[in-house]
Amino acid sequence: MTRQIRLALRAYGVGGPGQHSLWKDPRVPKNASIDIDWYIAQAQAAEHAKFDALFIVDSQFIDATYPPHYLNRLEPLTLLSAVATHTRHIGLVGTLSSTYNSPFNVARRFASLDHISHGRAGWNVVTSLDSGTSRNYGLDEHLDYTTRYGRALEHVQVVRGLWDSYEDDAFPADVDRDVFVEPSKLHALNHEGSYFKVAGPLNLSRSPQGQPVIFQAGVSEEGRNLAAHVAEGIYAPGGTLESVRAYYADIKRRALSLGRDPNHVVIFLGAQPVVAATDEEAHRLSRDIYEADNDFTRKLAQFGRSFGAHDFSRYDLDAPFPDVAHLAEKSGRTRGTAIIERAKSENLSLRETVLAFSQYQPSPFTGAPETVAQAIADWFEAEAFDGLNVGFRTNEDLSRFVADVVPLLQKQGLFRTEYEHDTLRGHLGLPIPANRWAAS
Sequence-separated (6 or more) residues with CB below 8 Å from residue 423: 118, 119, 120, 208, 209
95 annotated ligand-binding residue: yes
Sequence-separated (6 or more) residues with CB below 8 Å from residue 217: 124, 126, 223, 234, 235, 236, 237
220 annotated ligand-binding residue: yes
CA angle at 118 for the pair 112 and 124, rounded to the nearest 5°: 60
Distance, in Å, from the CA atom of 146 to the CA atom of 150, rounded to the nearest integer, reads 6
Closest to 94 measured CA to CA, from 424, 366, 349: 424
- Beta strand pairing status for 191-192 and 197-198? antiparallel
Distance, in Å, from the CA atom of 149 to the CA atom of 384, rounded to the nearest integer, reads 25
Distance, in Å, from the CA atom of 173 to the CA atom of 208, rounded to the nearest integer, reads 18
Backbone dihedral angles phi then psi of residue 141, each to the nearest 5 degrees = -135, 150
Distance, in Å, from the CA atom of 173 to the CA atom of 154, rounded to the nearest integer, reads 34
Burial classification of residue 173, based on how many CB atoms lie within 10 Å of its CB (0-12 exposed, 13-18 middle, 19 or more buried) = exposed
Could you list the residues known to form a binding site, using ranges: 58, 95, 149, 220
Could you list the residues known to form a binding site for FMN, using ranges: 58, 95, 149, 220
